[in-house]
C-alpha cells in the first residue's frame, strides 16, 4: 500500500448503508494491517489522528455510518481539512440493492439502526418499517456517497467482499483512482457505476463453440476479440473519451470514477474491454479491475491479466 514506510499518514474512511457489509470490510482492513476503529463519531477524527501522530507507518481505517446522525453533515469539510494537513484520505462507500438489504435483515433478524424514529420532540418513538428505514438512510448518507468509491455488494459473498477490499487498499493515493467493472446487462447495471459503456454490439465469442465456456481473461478469447476491428475501435473510442474527460472530473475534486463495461453475459466482451482500458490508462491513474460475473476470479490489477 502506498505510503507505508514513509512519514505520510493514510486514512481510509469506510461508510455505507446498513447491511452492506461494513463489518466484513473493516475486518479485512484489519487483517491487511490497518489500525481500525468502528463507528467513530466524525468530530473525533482529528483527535484520533493526533493521538497516532507517532505511528505514520500504520494506516488507519475508520468506520462511520448513519448512527453518527447530524455529524455526517460536517464530515466532508473535516476530511478536506485533513487532506490540507497532508493526510491521504480515501472514502469507500458500501452499497447494496434494496432487495439484497431486505433479504439480509430478514436472514439475520437484526434491527435497522434507523428503525426507531422520533417524529417530534414530544412524541413517543415510532417504529419505522424496514423499507422506510432503508430509504431514510440512503437520503442521510447521500452526501458521503457522492464523494466516495462506491462498491456494490449486492451479489458478493463475505469472502468476495474481503478480497475486493484488500485489493482496493493500494488505491489510497493523492490521485483520482479508476475502477473498471465488467457486468452482465441481464443482471442489471452496477449501482456503483459513474460511466457505463455497452459492448453488446460487438462480435460475441459466446457463439464460437470453442470459446463459449471461457472468459475474457483467457488467451483464446482475447485473441479472438483482438482480431475484430470493431473491438479495437471501441476500445480506442472509449480510451479517447476517458483521456479527454477524466482530467475534468479530477479537477472537480473527484477521488474515484467507476467505469462499468457491460455485455449480455458479462463473461467475454465486457471482461476483455475492461482489462484493455485498464492497461491503457493505468500509467495515468491508479487503476483496479473488477469482474462482477466472474465470482471465482480474484480481483486483479490490469498488469496481471490479458
C-alpha cell at 168: 482496493
Is the predicted pLDDT of residue 298 greater than 70, yes or no?
A: no
Cα–Cα separations (whole angstroms), residue 140 to 18, 103, 112, 275, 298: 12, 21, 14, 35, 33
Looking only at the bridges linking them, the beta strands covering 10-16 and 88-95 are parallel
pLDDT at residue 289, rounded to an integer: 92
pLDDT in tens, 58-117: 889 999 988 888 888 888 888 888 988 888 888 999 999 999 999 998 888 888 888 765
Cα separation of 120 and 216, whole Å? Answer: 56
Of 5-9, 169-173, 269-273, highest mean pLDDT: 269-273
Q: Which residue has the higher pLDDT, 205 or 84?
A: 205
The cell 479508476 sits on which residue?
Answer: 178
Is the per-residue pLDDT at 176 higher than 90? Answer: no
219, with CB counted inside 10 A (0-12, 13-18, 19+), is exposed
Q: How confident is the model at residue 2 (pLDDT cuts 50, 70, 90)?
A: very low
**What pTM, to 2 d.p., does this model score?**
0.63
177 and 254 in contact (C-beta within 8 Å)?
A: no
pLDDT surpasses 70 at 149: yes
pLDDT at position 151 over 50: yes
Give the burial class of 50: count Cβ atoms within 10 A of its Cβ; 0-12 exposed, 13-18 middle, 19 or more buried: exposed
DSSP 121-146: TTSPPEEPPHHHHHHHHHHHHHHHHH
CA 198 to CA 227: how far, in whole Å? 19
Q: Which residue has the higher pLDDT, 149 or 223?
A: 223
Task: Tell whether domain 10-171 is in CATH 3.40.50.300.
Answer: yes
- State the span(s) of the chain assigned CATH 3.40.50.300: 10-171
Query: Is pLDDT at 301 greater than 80 in this prediction?
Result: no
Amino acid at each position: 500500500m502506498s505510503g507505508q514506510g514513509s512519514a505520510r499518514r493514510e486514512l481510509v474512511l469506510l461508510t455505507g448503508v446498513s447491511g452492506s457489509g461494513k463489518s466484513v470490510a473493516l475486518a479485512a482492513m484489519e487483517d491487511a494491517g490497518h489500525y481500525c476503529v468502528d463507528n467513530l463519531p466524525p468530530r473525533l477524527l482529528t483527535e484520533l489522528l493526533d493521538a497516532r501522530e507517532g505511528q505514520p507507518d500504520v494506516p488507519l481505517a475508520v468506520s462511520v455510518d448513519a448512527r453518527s446522525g447530524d455529524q455526517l453533515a460536517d464530515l466532508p469539510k473535516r476530511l478536506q481539512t485533513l487532506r490540507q494537513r497532508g493526510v491521504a484520505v480515501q472514502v469507500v462507500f458500501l452499497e447494496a440493492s434494496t432487495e439484497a438489504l431486505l433479504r439480509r435483515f430478514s436472514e439475520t433478524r437484526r434491527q435497522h439502526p434507523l428503525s426507531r424514529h422520533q417524529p417530534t420532540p414530544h412524541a413517543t418513538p415510532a417504529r419505522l418499517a424496514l423499507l422506510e428505514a432503508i430509504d431514510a438512510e440512503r437520503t442521510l448518507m447521500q452526501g458521503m456517497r457522492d464523494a466516495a468509491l462506491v462498491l456494490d455488494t449486492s451479489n458478493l459473498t463475505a469472502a468476495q467482499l474481503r478480497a475486493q477490499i484488500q485489493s482496493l487498499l493500494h488505491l489510497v493515493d493523492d490521485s483520482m483512482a479508476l475502477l473498471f467493472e465488467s457486468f452482465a446487462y441481464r443482471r442489471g447495471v452496477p449501482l456503483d457505476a459513474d460511466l457505463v459503456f455497452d459492448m453488446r454490439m460487438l462480435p460475441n465469442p459466446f457463439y464460437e463453440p470453442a470459446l463459449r465456456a471461457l472468459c475474457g481473461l483467457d488467451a483464446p478469447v482475447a485473441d479472438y476479440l483482438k482480431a475484430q476491428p470493431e473491438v479495437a475501435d471501441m476500445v480506442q473510442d472509449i480510451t479517447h473519451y476517458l483521456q479527454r474527460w477524466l482530467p475534468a472530473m479530477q479537477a472537480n475534486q473527484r477521488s474515484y470514477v467507476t467505469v462499468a463495461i457491460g455485455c449480455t453475459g458479462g463473461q467475454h466482451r465486457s471482461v476483455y474491454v475492461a482489462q484493455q482500458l485498464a492497461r491503457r490508462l493505468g500509467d495515468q491513474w491508479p487503476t483496479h479491475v473488477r469482474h462482477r460475473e466472474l465470482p471465482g476470479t480474484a480481483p486483479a490489477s490490469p498488469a496481471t491479466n490479458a
